[in-house]
Structure formats: structure tokens, C-alpha cells
Amino acid sequence: MSTADEIAKLTEPTRGRFGEFGGQYVAETLMPAIAQLEDAWRVARDDASYWAEVDSLLANYVGRPSLLYHARRLSAEVGADVYLKREDLNHTGAHKINNCIGQAVLARRMGKRRLIAETGAGQHGVATATVAALFGLPCEIYMGAEDVMRQALNVERMKLLGATVHPVESGTRTLKDAMNEALRDWVTNVGDTFYLIGSVAGPHPYPWMVRDLQSVIGREARRQILDQGGRLPDALVACVGGGSNAAGLFAPFIDEAKVRMFGVEAAGDGVATGRHAATLSAGRVGVLHGSKSYVLTHEDDARLGQIAHAHSISAGLDYPGVGPEHAAWKDSGRVSYVSRTDEQALAALELLARTEGILCALETAHAVAALEHVAGLVGKTGLIIVGLSGRGDKDMVTVAQRRSATT
Amino acid sequence: MTAQLRASFDNAAKQGRAALVAYMTFGDPDPMTSIDVVEAVARAGADVIELGVPFSDPSADGPSIQRAMERALIAGASLPGALSAVAELRRRGVATPIVLFGYYNPIFVMGPATFAERAARAGVDAVLTVDLPIDELAELAAPLATYGVSVIPLVAPTSTPDRIARLAELNAPFVYYISLTGVTGSRSAAPVDPARLAQIRTASGSPVAVGFGIRTPDDARRFAAVTDGVVVGTALVDRVAAGDAAGAPERVAALVRELAAAMIR
């Protein structure tokens, strides 16, 4: 089956929404640009030549398909048959590049001459800077000043790749403020600029387009597990910040009623402490960055409707919103959302390193941390696929500091 | 309340001038002072007050208004506080029409119907929500209409003719034309094409106020010659920040008097 045929089977939003979630809550200035993007995406999505170009770059530049690896020692440790979908082995070290390749090809088809992006952990910034270099396009990256400090390695990578990195000093100086600043750039330079959003967030058509582009994770995993495991999996597990790697893994399985799905959010210091980023687990419906979805927002009179600070050891999950399709999956019960703390993520990172020799990103470690729970639900003979969304090199300083602080 | 807002534009036109629309961020530098600032601005000759409701993530605003909102939030400003401020201004006898200007999430979290009822009771004439384009506006416009509160739509240089044509269905007391693609206060305003304004006026059936980048009485005078209304925001917000809190009302009012004089065609 061709990529266009596989993509055509994925859910399309209705009038820009997944259920009640999504929409286009943006400034009037951007509306024509968003309409233009939506039109371009509809055409590209059905166009075999678009997918031929994307698939060729994914195969020859990114290194796809990524491995589906049977993690036997980890399986024994958690008590189920665990397979890792190795997005950490992609060029640039995470799943983010899948989306960037697809959007960059689209930007070129649309004649846009400048790329901008927001980034949290820096993985999306690095992936965007990478495709900008590959396509010969100027690139500006907005990154919270707090994240610039804790992800210094990725900042250097972006600069080496030729991108300009703007530290954002406003608000909480993290991912949400980077997104505000990227929106300000886009509204100012809307004529020639393509805003390459890194997650399944933002106004329609981004949540739809990014999920389609990331669905290569689930489309490959489906073929690979049938080949290696002989059947569909019992469960899928992936971490959720904005939710792009989870959406990409889940979407091609969404009609398989027997495949259970688990999104793992960042519980930070613990959901009860208020210092967390567990938007679906502990937030409520609101409007942020162009879409209606779950958000972390204050409800007391004094701060009514202000966006709350998110907290996570993982910069990539440190976001007070979440993609609208996840909100719809939560409300329909199709996907279960759980959360894991900073400490649990660190322990899971160490577990994976020691049992399998794989150093995963702190974001990814949240998914690994939920494995025992999921294994308990599917049993010893259960097949689980974990979205191993990124590698952990960028987090080594953070991890080392935490380890030395606790020993 | 549409009638009162429309009357401000009509009266200004009869007097041979454009209406002056003055923006201030509620709560900057603190809630009590900002009420005094708004009162002073109304008495200094503003035809319409736009009262900004601070939001933690003002993605359509430039640095001046971002900082004003940060100061306001630190000082304890909120959406319920802004509604109380409007009620207080009405109690003080300020009759100038007031447009609440802000972002949707605080309103959504309060509940659009609750917000509409409280806004009407406080004496709010209209609401402008930056992140509710006409496509998403119904969920707020409908409850507001129940309580007689209007919505003010934004029109941008990028707005297409089919989008402008849809403004007619709103019957807005005025429409706000953004004179440049960008955030508030970022650059100085480019000259606006009178034919473009006429097109918006005809398609919407509403007077047109122009804003973004209009800072000085000279800027204002150039725009007053061709538009129905002139919006000044960042320059007033900068005046609030240019000295101590006690002096803020008079500092801002002094600029408003100059701007009001510049409205005469």
C-alpha cells in the first residue's frame, strides 16, 4: 500500500476539530496564512509525488525505517514482552525530524523562503535547523531562556547548523513562551515565512498535519510487529508533552479496538504538589496557542484563566498544553493517560540503560516508567510497543546533577 | 450598548473629527492606579476606552504591552478585577464607552455566558478578543448578544475580501483595522490606503478605527484625516511606565489631550 493510501485511512478532523477540540484561535492576521497552509496540506496529503519526496528523504537522510527492537532483558524486568520503536536512532536523535522533513518539503512547494520554529528541549529546534541546512533556507529558532541554559548542547548544535537561536526572556522562559514569540515573528513576517510547529499543537491544520507526518512511526511499527511478533500488540506506550510522538505511534492503530494505548505525561514533583506538566491528567479545557484543548490554567478568581507554570525535569514535556486529538482521545476513553514523576523518569532512564544499553531522553523515560503498570494490565505474554522517542545525550548534564544530588 | 459606541463615532464625525480610541492595560502599574488612569483618560477627551485584560501569554502583543501585562499580573490584576474596575468607573460617572480587550482563555474559563452577564452588569459596551477570529467568534458573540454586549472584530492587511464580507453579519459598532502585519507597538504605522478603508466600511457597514504603530499626535493627525477612529495603545502604556504611579494619570491624560486635539480634520 502506498504512503498516500495509508495516510488516507487516518482520521481527518471535522471543520478543523477532533470532537470539540482544535479549531483556529489565532489573530486575524494569521488566518489567511493558515487557510493557505490547510489548502496546501490537503493537496500534498493526496499527492503521491509529495510522499515520494518525503519517503525518499526519510529513507536516505533520516535512516528509516527505524528499528523495532525486542528488548528481552527489559521485558524480563517489567513482566511483559516489550518492543522499542527506536526513534532515537533517527538522524538528529529523535522523532522530531520526521515532521520537519514533511513540513520543509511542503514549505518548498508553497514557495516559502524562511523557516521559524519554537523548541523546548531543543530536539525540534535541531531538527528544524537540520532541514533548513539541507534545503538551504534561513532559519530562526525561539527557545525559552531557561531551556537555553539546561539544553546548552542543543543550542550549540543549532548554531553550528546555521540557525539563529533567540532566547525568550518573557513569561516562564520555557516552551510556551518560545511559542508565543514564534507566533509574534510569524504574524510580523507572514508573507514569506513558514512556521514549522514541532508538535500536534497549534491551530488547525497543524495538529492534523504533524500527526500524519509522525504516523510513519506507527505505520512502520504495525508492519514490524506483525512480522516479528506475529500479531498486533496488546498495548502502545508513549510519552506526551504536546504529544507528537504518541499521536504518530497511536494513529495507525486507533481503529484496532484490542490495542490499548497509554499516554504518559510528566508529573514533575508529583501532581499533588502542583509542580507538574500533566495537562490531560490534571488540567481542564481551555484555549492556548491556537487550539481548544486541555490546558494547565488557574481557576481561582485572582488568576482566573491565566496559564499555569508547567514543571518537568524534561524540557520537552514542560508545556501547559497538549494536542487537541489527545484531548478527544482522552474524553472518548480511547487512550488512557497516566503520569510519572521526575524521580520515576530518572529511575526508568537508568533501568533502560542498564538492561538494554540504551540511553534514552528524559522525555522518553516517562514512557519507560509506565511499563510496569502497563505490563500488569496485559500480563506476561502481552506484547507492548514503547515509543522510544529520543536519545539521552542532551540530558546527561541534568541526569548527572540529579544523581550526584541524591547520592 | 452597540448604540452608545456607534454614537461616539457618529458624534465625532458630526464634529468634524475622528474618534479617539485609547488603550490601557488594566492593572498597570496596579489595579487602583489604573482605574484612576482610565478615568483621567476619559475626562481628557478619549471617545472610546479599550481596557486590556492582562493575560499570561499575550502572543499578539509587542514588548511594551507584554511588560504592562506582566506588571499587572504581579500587581494582582485579573479578569474579575477588570470587570470590577469597569463597575467602579461607571460609579464614578465615567460614561465613555468601554471595550474590554484581551485573549479568550480567561473568558472561556469563567464561562462565556457568566462573563457576558457580568460584563453587561459592570457596564462593558463591547469585547474584542484577539484570538477569536470571525470563524470562532460565535461561541462568545452569541452569549454577549443575549446581554446586549457587542463584539469588535479585527481586520488585518492580510484579510481577504471574503473574510471582510463576513463582517456584515456581526453588525459591529466599529471594526478595528490593524494597520500593519505584526504585534502591537512594533513599528511605526505605514500610510493606510483610503480605498481599503472604504472597502472595509462598505462591507462591514461599520465605522473603521485604525491602530497599531500610531504613537504621536502627528501620526494620529495623518490617520484622523482618512479614518473614522484612531487607536493609540503602546504610546499610552509607555506613558504609564515612564514615572511613578501617582503621576501616571496626569502623564497619560496630557498625551490624550494632545491626541484628542489631533483628531480634528
Contacting residues of B for A327, CB less than 8 Å apart: none
- Rounded Cα gap, residues B89 and B112, in angstroms: 23
Sign of CA dihedral A220, A223, A228, A234: positive
CB-CB neighbours of A5 under 10 Å: 10
- Are B156 and A299 in contact (CB < 8 Å)? no
* A24–B183 C-beta distance less than 8 A: no
Once rounded to an integer, what is the mean pLDDT over residues A80-84? 98
Mean pLDDT within A293-305: 97
In terms of CA atoms, which chain B residue is nearest residue A175? B57
Task: Provide the pLDDT for residue A1.
Answer: 86
Q: What does the alpha-carbon distance between residue A84 and residue A68 come to, in Å, rounded to a whole number?
A: 6
Which cell goes with B231?
Answer: 487607536
Q: How many residues does chain A have?
A: 407
How deeply is A132 buried, as exposed, middle or buried, from its count of CB atoms within 10 A (0-12, 13-18, 19+)?
A: buried
Beta-carbon contacts below 8 Å between A and B: 127
- Residue type at position B262: A
Between helix A31-45 and helix A206-214 the angle, nearest 10°, is 30
* Best residue in A306, A307, A319 for a mutation probing chain B (most B CBs within 10 Å): A306
Q: Does A190 touch chain B (CB under 8 A)?
A: yes
Instruction: State residue A141's pLDDT score.
Output: 98
Calculate the alpha carbon distances from A230 to A224, A226, A383, B33 in Å. 9, 5, 10, 71
Across the interface, do B134 and A28 touch by the CB < 8 Å criterion?
A: yes
User: What's the gap in Å between the CA of B167 and the closest CA on chain A?
Assistant: 12
**Which of A218, A279, A195, A207 is closest to A87 using CA atoms?**
A218
Q: Residue B182 above 90 pLDDT?
A: no
Contact residues for A397 (Cβ-Cβ < 8 A; gap 6+): A150, A152, A153
- CB contact under 8 Å between B59 and A184, yes or no, is yes
Sign of the dihedral through C-alpha A288, A293, A299, A304: positive
Q: Which of B105, B163, B176, B186 to mutate to test the interface with A (most CBs of A within 10 A)?
A: B105
Neighbours of A232 (CB within 10 A): 14
Nearest residue in B to A295, CA atom: B105
Instruction: With CB atoms and an 8 Å threshold, state whether A304 touches B136.
Output: no
Residue B211 and residue B205: Cα distance in Å, rounded?
19
pLDDT band at B145 (very low <50, low <70, confident <90, very high): very high
Residue A38: all three cell numbers together: 490547510
Longest dimension (CA), chain B: 48
pLDDT of residue A237: 99
Q: Are A293 and A324 in contact (CB under 8 A)?
A: yes
Q: Tell me whether residues A24 and B73 touch, CB distance under 8 A.
A: no
**Which cell numbers in the block locate residue A166?**
533567540
B109–A297 C-beta distance less than 8 A: yes
Is B50 an active-site residue?
yes
**How far, in Å, CA of A93 to CA of A96, rounded?**
8
- Residues of chain A with pLDDT > 90, as a percent, come to 93
What local confidence, expressed as pLDDT, does residue A386 receive? 98
Name the residue among A171, A187, A288 with its Cβ closest to that of B105.
A288
- Tell whether A170 is within 8 A of chain B (Cβ): yes
B130 CA: distance to closest CA in chain A (Å): 6
Mutant choice from B181, B188, B208 vs A, greatest count of A C-beta within 10 A: B181
> What length does chain B have?
265
Is the omega angle on the peptide bond into residue B217 within 30 degrees of 0, that is, cis?
Answer: no
- pLDDT tens sequence across B50-94: 999 999 999 999 999 999 999 999 999 999 999 999 999 999 999
Cβ atoms within 10 Å, residue B203: 18
Q: List the beta bridge partners of residue A235.
A: A260, A384
pLDDT score at A172: 87
Secondary structure of A365-396 as H, E, C letters: HHHHHCHHHHHHHHCCCCEEEEEECEECHHHH
Give percent of chain B above pLDDT 90: 92
Residue from the list A188, A287, A306 with its beta carbon closest to the beta carbon of B181: A188
Residue A156 has pLDDT above 90, yes or no: yes
Chain A residues with CB under 8 Å of B105 CB are: 286-288, 295, 297, 305-307
Nearest in space to B53 (alpha carbons), one of B101, B97, B96, B85: B101
User: Which pairs count as long-range contacts for B148-153, CB under 8 Å and 24+ apart, including other chains?
Assistant: B148/B1, B148/B2, B148/B120, B149/B1, B149/B116, B149/B119, B149/B120, B149/B124, B149/B125, B150/B1, B150/B2, B150/B5, B150/B125, B150/B126, B151/B126, B151/B127, B152/B99, B152/B126, B152/B127, B152/B128, B152/B176, B153/A28, B153/B128, B153/B204
Q: Does the structure show a pLDDT above 90 at A11?
A: yes
Q: With an 8 Å Cβ cutoff, are A31 and B110 in contact?
A: no
A405 pLDDT higher than 90: no
A288 touches chain B (CB under 8 A): yes
Q: Could you give the CA distance from residue B32 to residue B28 in angstroms, rounded to a whole number?
A: 9
Rounded CA-CA distance A367/A345 in Å is 8
Distance from CA of B14 to the nearest CA of A (A): 31
d(Cα A118, Cα B137) in Å, to the nearest integer?
A: 27
Does the CB of A1 have a partner CB in chain B at under 8 Å?
no
pLDDT digits (tens, 9 = 90+) for A230-240: 999 999 999 99
Q: How far is A288 from chain B (nearest CA, A)?
A: 7
Q: Tell me the pLDDT tens digit for each residue of A240-285.
A: 999 999 999 999 999 999 999 999 999 999 999 999 999 999 999 9
B108, B131, B160 ranked by CB distance to A27: nearest: B131
Q: Residue B207 corresponds to which cell in the numbers above? A: 465605522
CB contact under 8 A, A28 and B155: yes
Residue of A183, A189, A303 lying closest to B59 (CB–CB):
A183
pTM metric for this prediction: 0.97
User: Cα–Cα distance between B170 and B142 in angstroms, integer?
Assistant: 10
Residues 6+ apart with CB under 8 A from A406: none
Å between A138 CA and nearest CA of chain B: 20
CA atoms within a 13 Å half-sphere pointing along the CA-CB vector of B233: 31
Does A148 or B191 have the greater pLDDT score?
Answer: A148
H or E segment at B154? strand B154-155
To the nearest whole number, what is the mean pLDDT of chain A? 96
Name the packing angle between helices B138-146 and B112-122 (round to 10°): 40
At residue A407 the predicted structure's pLDDT band, cuts being 50, 70 and 90, is low
Q: Up-side HSE of residue B210: CA atoms within 13 Å toward CB? A: 31
Phi and psi, residue B246, nearest 5°: -60, -35
Please tell me which residue in B50, B125, B219, B228 is annotated as part of the active site. Answer: B50
User: What's the CA gap between A383 and A71, in Å, rounded?
Assistant: 11
Whole-number percent of chain A with pLDDT over 70: 100
Q: Under a CB-based contact definition with an 8 Å cutoff, are residues B45 and B20 in contact? A: yes
Grid cell 524480563 is found at: A76
Closest-CA residue of B relative to A187 is B182
Contact between chains at B105 and A180 (C-beta distance less than 8 A):
no
Contact yes or no for A302 and B76 at CB 8 A: yes
Other Cβ atoms within 10 Å of A31 Cβ, number: 23
What the block records as the C-alpha cell of A348 is 526508568
Task: Give the mutation candidate from A17, A20, A24, A28 for the B interface (greatest B CB count, under 10 A).
Answer: A28
Per the residue annotation, which of B28, B36, B47, B61 is the catalytic one?
B61
Residue B135 with chain A: CB contacts under 8 Å = 23-24, 31
Contact B79 A305 (CB under 8 A): yes
In terms of C-beta density within 10 A (0-12 exposed, 13-18 middle, 19 or more buried), how is residue A227 classed? exposed
Rounded Cα distance between A357 and A347, Å, is 14
Distance CA A348, CA A197 (A): 29
Interchain pair A24, B133: CB under 8 A: yes
Of B231, B245, B252, the closest CA to residue B27 belongs to B245
Nearest chain A residue to B179, by CA: A29
Kindly indicate the confidence band of residue A164, based on its pLDDT and cuts at 50, 70 and 90: very high
Question: Which pLDDT score is estimated for B183?
Answer: 86
Is residue A394 flagged as an active site residue? Answer: no
Domains and CATH numbers, chain B: 2-261 (3.20.20.70)
Q: Does position B225 have pLDDT exceeding 90, yes or no?
A: yes
Q: Does A159 score more than 70 pLDDT?
A: yes
- Distance between the two ends of chain B, CA-based, in angstroms? 27
What does the pLDDT look like over A318-375, one tens digit per residue? 999 999 999 999 999 999 999 999 999 999 999 999 999 999 999 999 999 999 999 9
